[in-house]
Amino acid sequence: MKKIFFTVAVLVLVAMVPAYGADGKAVFDKVCTFCHKTGRLTAPVFGDKELWAPRIAKGKDTLYQHAINGHGMMPAKGGEATLSDDEVKATVDYMVSESK
């Protein structure tokens, strides 16, 4: 019973957390890491220069658009529709800067 209460309390807290702002790392750790840490669904692995080079070569604007609107198996905004476009862009910046 206690466990259930704790779980509900955590969920409520998580739901109340305000927007991430421009903290790309915080967004990445919470939303994007699920696929981009291990390469789930063929997502380019965070920090893997070889996998990211051809993507970075497409230009930041393309990466922003694909992250915001989705691309292949990549869900729009990583499936987290509450993220603002700027938050997604900040997260792409973080991923790119750590993967080149």
Least separation, in Å, of the C-beta of 50 and ligand HEC? 13
**Which residues sit at the interface with ligand HEC, rule CB under 6 A?**
27, 31-32, 34-36, 40-44, 55, 58, 62-63, 66-67, 71-75, 77-80, 88, 91-92
Residue closer to ligand HEC, measured from CB, 9 or 38: 38
Query: Which helix or strand (DSSP H or E) is residue 27 part of?
Result: helix 24-27
Quick one: 71 or 86, whose CB is closer to ligand HEC?
71
If the CB atoms of residues 1 and 15 are measured against ligand HEC, the closer one turns out to be: 15
Exposure string for 23-58, b = 16+ CB within 10 A, e = fewer: ebebbbebbbeebbeeeeeebbbbeeeeebeebbee
